[in-house]
Amino acid sequence: PRVELAWAMKAHQHAQVYFNLISSVDPKFLNLTKVDDLIYQEFRETFRELRVDLLDPEELKSEPAK
């Protein structure tokens, strides 16, 4: 139990640092991996019309969205 607690505390510390880092940068300039641009390009090719600024959970669950 102590090892698990120590691991959880360390993971929480890392998560806080990571969150603070990604929260302090304008998302336009944030790259988390070397292939972010490729991932985004393929996402846009697959989901051309999807507006990520206005996601509606009910719309995503609809038959046409599936």
Q: pTM of the full predicted structure?
A: 0.51
pLDDT tier for residue 49 given thresholds of 50, 70 and 90: confident
Per domain, the residue ranges of the chain are: 1-65
Looking from the CA of 53 toward its CB, the CA atoms found within 13 Å total: 1
pLDDT value for 40: 92
pLDDT tier for residue 53 given thresholds of 50, 70 and 90: confident
- What pLDDT digit, counting tens, does each position of 25-45 carry? 888 888 888 999 999 999 999
Q: Report the 10 Å Cβ neighbour count for 53.
A: 5
Tell me the three state secondary structure of residue 60. Answer: helix
